[in-house]
Amino acid sequence: MPLYVLLIALAVLLILSAFFSLSETSMMAINRYRLKHLAKEGHRGARLTTQLLLSTDRLLGVILLGNNLLNAAAATLVAVIISNFFGHNDLALLIGTVCVTFAILVFSEITPKVVAAAYPERIALASSYVLTPLLKLFYPVVWFVNLFVQALLTILRLRPRESNATQKISLEELKTLVLEAGHFIRKKHQSMLLNLFDLETVTVDDVMVPRGQIEAIDLQDDDEVIHNQLLTCHHTRLPVYRGTLDNVIGIIHVRKVLNQMRSGEVTATILEKIMREPYFIPSGTPLFSQLQLFQENRERVGLIVDEYGEWMGLVALEDIIEEIIGEFTTHAPTQAGTFVKQADGSVIVEGSSLLRDLNRKLGMRFPLGGPKTLNGLILEHFQDIPEAGTGLKIADYPMEVVQTQDRVVKVVRIFPGPTPFQ
């Protein structure tokens, strides 16, 4: 047989072996979520690829069967070429073995697999049209080989099918997917998705308005005082109590009160008739759960109570929504959260500021596992109430207590630490 015919046959074998190498790598590297999307869109290649990947042992069986047969045939063909033209020359046989090994590595293994890893979707979808009929054709051989494979896996106590079936993506992995999809998702939408994932780890305690900052109506006040308070309030829903804040008896919707004002003076008796019973929320409830509870109970405001039944603060539906999409409402002057940057790079903040707000808005890294406010963090640090002018350092951030009042730290100056303020 002429030499050129044998060389052409060798090239064909290497090309066919390269096809199986391409198929193997592309099938294993293809994006499964993208594949599911294409299959739902009706892409035939995607549907065939999905079916092939449902039985990885059969798929790899037919690919490796073809690949190894072709590589063995290529090596045998080289041996025939050397035998025909060089006789039983050991040196020629050694050189031929080295050359065919090099050709298989370069043209049938490494190069095809590098290409397939770069373009897995394009190659996998195309190769599925060939692998599907090949699997049907060589199914008896693949089945016979897999008998030994399954026996070996049983001896090793490995169950790859069950492992693949139970494999799920974790929350952190899902966050990574969102972060890496920056070219496809707008930055604002990306931020909203990440905030939505955090709703399971953030509790109502992290976003509540502390009891000392809540606007509330005392039914024991004079009617004129109540009337003026309703006219100047900064919220649409206000807690109603009798005597002390510990005795909350309801929630009032200011809009309903304004309708009463048109017909006459608003009195404590009228407020008792139109107020709703307070909605209480256990401390530590995750925000995502509370969002669902607000929807199920048709509530918008809830009072957070601790394990002793004492209410600690208030959380509204808007507070949870702001955790997802960012701030969009105007806060009342009584609510904390004002940050004033100074010329020396420091920041003046209120002691009642939430640590989550400081971390998010100023790029700080205060610990969130304990106290929720800066005041609580400082009190925990000293185990006492510090005097004005006291300096301290928490989480590598130097700070100074500027003002204390009524057993709480009112104002704090924070100096730049390891993370510059944004």
The burial class, CB within 10 Å (0-12 / 13-18 / 19+), for 183 is exposed
pLDDT score of 364 = 85
- Tens of pLDDT along 359-368? 878 888 888 8
User: DSSP letter at 394?
Assistant: E
pLDDT score of 166 = 45
- Range 378-387 average pLDDT: 89
Give the DSSP letter string of 172-225.
HHHHHHHHHTTTTS-HHHHHHHHHHHHTTT-BHHHHPEEGGG---EETTS-HHH
Lowest-pLDDT range, 153-167, 261-275, 363-377, 397-411?
153-167
How far apart are the C-alpha atoms of 365 and 404, rounded to whole Å? Answer: 24
- Tens of pLDDT along 9-26? 889 999 999 999 999 999
Sheet holding 280-282, edge to edge: 209-210, 311-316, 301-305, 280-282
| DSSP-derived 3-state class of residue 323 | helix
How far apart are the C-alpha atoms of 252 and 255, rounded to whole Å? Answer: 9
- Range 267-288 average pLDDT: 88
Q: Inform me whether the pLDDT recorded for 333 exceeds 60.
A: no
pLDDT score of 405 = 85
Percent of the chain with pLDDT strictly greater than 90? 22
* Higher pLDDT pick, 169 / 366: 366
Q: Inform me whether the pLDDT recorded for 162 exceeds 60.
A: no
- Tens of pLDDT along 117-152? 999 999 999 999 999 999 889 888 888 888 888 888
Residue in this structure with the two tokens 């690829």, named with its chain if needed: 49
pTM: 0.61
- Range 194-198 average pLDDT: 80
Domains present along the chain, CATH in parentheses = 3-166 (no CATH), 204-325 (3.10.580.10), 339-414 (3.30.465.10)
